[in-house]
């Protein structure tokens, strides 16, 4: 598939890095990096060698500690963003390259991370396969990606405005992944013990225009090949009015929802726990109430000690 113009995406990131107030727009990606790091804390292990795919300004490097990671390799297509990475507790090494093509040897890393970057790659299954190859046995892949409900308010407002003013609409919001697909893609790539969950982060903005300005500042402007290059002024003003009418708060602000999908998968090894064969279970789920009662009695709980 060739959905995204990778050069345009890189140009958007370069532009965002050169803004005089570029740090103002870090709030969402840094927040999600913190949440992703919290999930990494649940993996009670030290990772001597790790990779961050689409590192941006080093959001993950700012968050993880030397107790979790020995050395962190940061892969990013935008040199301008990598130049903004500051000193961190963890030793880092920067690599400029396309996130769709991992330039590393097989069995190199103990951990691979990606924070809000993979929604711009054309071949997500291919990136998962390459990540599996680059991981050592029993290595971990953990990442976050925008889900399909991201910016649904903005998408609806723009579509309705263009239908009203122009008699048709073009996509202005990039397509995002469905939660139900992520686990299947990890499994097809060869990962095991996969887990997928999600958060919804809703941020209030004074109007639709401030939201669009912040998306530009994040380097998240639409880079799909079928994007519309020009949005007519009357359609834009109508979209702002529709947005506020349909979703606005009483104080005049408007909400923007970002659905964040989190994923984790393990590269198989001889020590990977495997599920028992079908039919080897000792209890049926329909007998679970009786099993719980039996366990409570064995533990001395009983009905009078609940």
pLDDT in tens, 38-78: 999 999 899 999 999 999 999 999 999 999 999 999 999 99
DSSP 119: G
Examine residue 107 and state whether it is found in any structural domain, yes or no.
Answer: yes
The parent domain of residue 271 ranges over 6-149+174-208+258-299
Residue 28, C-beta contacts closer than 8 angstroms, at least 6 positions apart:
116, 201, 203, 218, 258
Nearest CA to 76 out of 47, 98, 51 is that of 98
Examine residue 218 and state whether it is found in any structural domain, yes or no.
Answer: no
Examine residue 160 and state whether it is found in any structural domain, yes or no.
Answer: no
Phi then psi for residue 260, to 5 deg, are -110, 120
What is the value of pTM for the model shown? 0.86
303 has pLDDT over 60? no
Examine residue 129 and state whether it is found in any structural domain, yes or no.
Answer: yes
Report the CATH number that the domain containing residue 122 is assigned in CATH: 3.40.50.150
Residue 41, C-beta contacts closer than 8 angstroms, at least 6 positions apart:
68
Q: How confident is the model at residue 2 (pLDDT cuts 50, 70, 90)?
A: confident
Domain count along the chain: 1
Examine residue 16 and state whether it is found in any structural domain, yes or no.
Answer: yes
29 touches 61 (CB < 8 A): no
81 has pLDDT over 50? yes
Q: Tokens in use for 141?
A: 């892949």
- Taking residues 279-285, report their average pLDDT: 67
Examine residue 222 and state whether it is found in any structural domain, yes or no.
Answer: no
Examine residue 246 and state whether it is found in any structural domain, yes or no.
Answer: no
149 has pLDDT over 90? yes
Whole-Å CA distances, 80 to 2, 113, 126: 25, 21, 26
Q: Estimate to the nearest angstrom the gap between the alpha carbon of 286 and the chain centroid.
A: 37
Examine residue 221 and state whether it is found in any structural domain, yes or no.
Answer: no
């Amino acid at each position: 598939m060739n959905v995204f113009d990778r050069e345009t995406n890189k140009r958007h990131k370069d532009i965002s890095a050169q803004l005089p107030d570029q740090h103002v727009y870090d709030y969402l990606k840094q927040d999600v990096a913190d949440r992703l790091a919290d999930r990494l804390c649940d993996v009670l292990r030290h990772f001597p060698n790790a990779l961050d795919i689409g590192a941006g300004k080093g959001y993950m490097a700012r968050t993880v500690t030397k107790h979790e990671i020995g050395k962190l390799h940061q892969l990013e297509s935008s040199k301008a963003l990598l130049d903004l990475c500051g000193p961190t507790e963890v030793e880092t090494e920067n690599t400029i390259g396309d996130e769709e093509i991992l330039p590393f040897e097989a069995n190199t890393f103990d951990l691979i991370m990606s924070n809000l970057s993979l929604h711009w790659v054309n071949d997500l299954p291919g990136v998962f396969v390459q990540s599996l190859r680059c991981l050592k046995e029993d290595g971990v892949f953990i990442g976050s990606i925008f889900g399909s409900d991201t910016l649904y308010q903005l998408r609806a407002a723009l579509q309705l405005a263009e239908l009203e003013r122009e008699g048709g609409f073009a996509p202005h919001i990039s397509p995002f992944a469905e939660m139900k697909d992520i686990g299947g893609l990890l499994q097809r790539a060869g990962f095991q013990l996969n887990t997928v969950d999600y958060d919804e982060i809703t941020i209030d903005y004074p109007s639709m225009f401030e939201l669009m300005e912040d998306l530009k500042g994040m380097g998240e402007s639409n880079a799909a090949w079928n994007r519309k290059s020009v949005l007519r002024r009357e359609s834009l003003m109508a979209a702002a009015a529709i947005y506020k009418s349909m979703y606005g708060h009483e104080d005049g602000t408007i909400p923007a929802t970002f659905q964040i999908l989190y994923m984790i998968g393990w590269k198989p090894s001889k020590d990977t726990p495997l599920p028992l064969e079908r039919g080897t279970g000792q209890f049926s789920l329909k007998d679970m109430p009786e099993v719980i009662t039996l366990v409570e009695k064995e533990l001395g709980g009983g009905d009078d000690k609940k």
